[in-house]
Amino acid sequence: MENVDYAVVAAIDLGTTYSSWACSFRHDYNKDPKNLEKIMCRNWNDSQNVSYKAPTTILVREDGKTLDKFGYEAEDQFAQFAEDDADELNTWYYFRRFKMLLHDRKIKRDMMLESENSKTLPAMRVFALTIKYLMNDILVDIGKKMMDVLDESHIRWVLTVPAIWDETAKQFMREAATEAGIPSNQLTLALEPEVASLYCNSIPLTRADNGEASTLHPGAKYILVDAGGGTIDIIAHEVMSDGSLNEIYRSNGGAWGGTEVDKEYLSFLKDLVGTSVFENFKKNHMDDYLYLCREFEQKKRTIEPVKDLKVTTRFPGTLNELFENEKHQTLANSILSKKWSQSVTPMSDKIRMESHVMKGFFADALQKTGSHLQHIFSGESSLKTVNTIMMVGGFSESKMLQEVIIKLFPEKRVIVPPQAGLAVLKGAVLFGHNPSAIGHRVCRFSYGVKTSVAFVKGKHSETRESILEMKIYVLIYLISMFIKAKV
């Protein structure tokens, strides 16, 4: 990778909830490595708003090999099928939020992935089709700017992955990218919290609690919390004199991202109407189900711990009808006999919740994240002098998560950089331009050799008669360098 004569760095951030790409030209980076305005990010339109990321959702044609729509367009098209043509709905493949398939499980190249409409395709193909779509989208955009004169062999591709994934999951992503058409000698994987840290090292920073400005300087140590849709990735870095970053505590974390809040909300709805009613609703009224999920995704971003306002969310009429047909009573009467009787009010096609109900959907993810941070701060001597917590990723923009961390660690600076949701994406571009900016990693495993020799009477101590054991543990520099190069 170091010797490739590249003209462009193109980064793909395939996230659990949202995905996108960014790129920049080498000549712009060489002029000013910290000018992040020169990093171009894709704009996505959901018919109401423009954002830098689109849902990680794909719609694959009947042949199972052709990606027809991605992101908001895939959601809208599939919802249209659900509303107009049930037969059409069952012939296509609709996948969303499939990245977590690779977290904390045994990975096989031939494993299958079930779609939202209960059809299956090889997981490798689903990932490869998604990467290929984003790759081609980048090439079209770059082609417009370069007037189709750019040699594709001069593009350095960067694909982001969670640091807490094991090596098989990372290898799966590498092979999916290769299958998508990215040449292996032009591809590098970037660990998400590492590249987010590079982003933070390139911009002015502001404290989340009081707005105080801050910058990173040589010798600064901090914990970075990359809170995405699926995982919370945590890493600790020290800024070196040359501006590079040294890892002082290995990457860690868990599956406590923003999608856990969504799961709690869906569990709440199942509790209200019953599992059979809700599954029937999801299967036969996919358009309403998708709209319900999209609305909640937007609604949860507005929740703040200091606000005690009631929250109103959509409750589709079709779900209400299914409930009354199966339960033979109104939802309002049913709620009176449940634990939600004093805190949830049905309102025709909506439900209104007391604020503590909505905030309760965050509780499990926040508790696990906070407890984990407390554990590593209290148990790791290398973190005793770390007094800064950096928060990046889409879920880090949640005031609920920010408040928990600020309260748990009042003695530390909690910083949320501008455009925290783009930290990984833009940081991946910076990493593509300068991979050596990550100067040192803590190896996940140590390697060594165990040997033994036969006992020789008269030569060895009688206490060692059964066997003389010699254990040699060697930190293998070449292996650590090899791991670094592969990542």
Cβ-contact 114, 142 below 8 angstroms: no
CA–CA separation, 444 and 160 (whole Å): 19
**Is the pLDDT confidence value at 470 over 50?**
no
8 Å CB contact between 17 and 394: yes
171-216 pLDDT tens trace? 999 999 999 999 999 999 999 999 999 999 988 776 666 666 666 8
**pLDDT over threshold 60, residue 68:** yes
Rounded to an integer, what distance in angstroms lies between the CA atom of residue 405 and that of residue 382?
20
Amino acid in the structure at residue 460: H
- Enter the tokens of residue 407: 């309260």
Task: Provide the pLDDT confidence category of residue 467 given band limits of 50, 70 and 90.
Answer: very low
By CB neighbour count within 10 A (0-12 exposed, 13-18 middle, 19+ buried), where does 71 fall? buried
- Whole-angstrom distance, CA of residue 485 vs CA of residue 213: 36
CB contact set of 323 (below 8 Å; sequence gap of 6+): 273, 274, 277, 331, 334
DSSP string across 324-368:
HHHHSS-HHHHHTTSTTTTTEEEETTEEEE-HHHHHHTTHHHHHH
- 307 alpha carbon, distance to own chain's centre: 27
Question: In 97-151, at which residue ranges do the beta strands (DSSP E only) sit?
Answer: 112-114, 120-122
- Whether residue 208 contacts residue 78, with contact meaning beta carbons closer than 8 Å, is answered with no
Which secondary structure element, helix H or strand E, spans residue 251, and what is its range?
A: strand 245-254
Across 329-486, the runs of DSSP E, i.e. the strands, are: 344-347, 350-353, 388-392, 413-415, 438-440, 448-453, 468-473
The answer to whether 172 and 124 are in contact (CB under 8 A) is: yes
According to the 3-state scheme, what is the secondary structure of 270-320? HHHHCHHHHHHHHHHCHHHHHHHHHHHHHHHHHCCCCCCCCEEEECCHHHH
Q: Which of 372, 376, 323 is nearest to 349 (CA)?
A: 323
| 461: Cα separation from own chain's centroid | 57
pLDDT tens digit sequence for 407-437: 999 999 999 998 999 999 999 999 999 999 9
Q: Which of 257, 214, 234, 202 is nearest to 397 (CA)?
A: 257
Say how far apart CA 175 and CA 182 lie, in whole Å: 10
- The burial class, CB within 10 Å (0-12 / 13-18 / 19+), for 455 is middle
Sorting pLDDT into bands at 50, 70 and 90, what band is 83? confident
Contact 348, 340 (CB under 8 A): no
Domains in the chain: ranges and CATH: 8-195 (3.30.420.40), 204-257+363-420 (3.30.420.40), 259-360 (no CATH), 448-486 (no CATH)
How much of the chain, in percent, has pLDDT values that exceed 70?
88
The mean pLDDT value of the chain amounts to 88
pLDDT digits (tens, 9 = 90+) for 22-39: 999 999 999 999 899 999
pLDDT of residue 449: 59
Q: How far is CA 435 from CA 196, 247, 303, in A?
A: 13, 14, 38
Contact present, 367 and 254 (Cβ < 8 Å): no
Q: Is 408 left (phi over 0), alpha (psi -120 to 50) or beta?
A: alpha
Q: What is the dihedral of CA 399, 404, 408, 411, to 10 degrees?
A: 0
Q: Output the CA torsion sign for 266, 268, 271, 273.
A: negative
pLDDT confidence of residue 214: 61
> For residue 275, what are its two tokens?
């599992």
Helix axes 72-84, 286-299, angle to 10 degrees: 140
Structural contact between residues 120 and 112, judged by C-beta atoms closer than 8 angstroms = yes
Is the pTM higher than 0.75? The answer reads yes
DSSP states of 194-215 as a string?
HHHHHHHTTS-EEBTTT--EE-
> Which position has the higher pLDDT, 474 or 363?
363
Contact status, residue 74 vs residue 57, Cβ threshold 8 Å: yes
pLDDT per residue as tens digits for the range 243-261: 899 999 989 999 999 999 9
Of the given ranges (89-98, 113-122, 332-341), which has the lowest mean pLDDT?
A: 332-341
Say if CB 359 and CB 324 are below 8 A apart: no
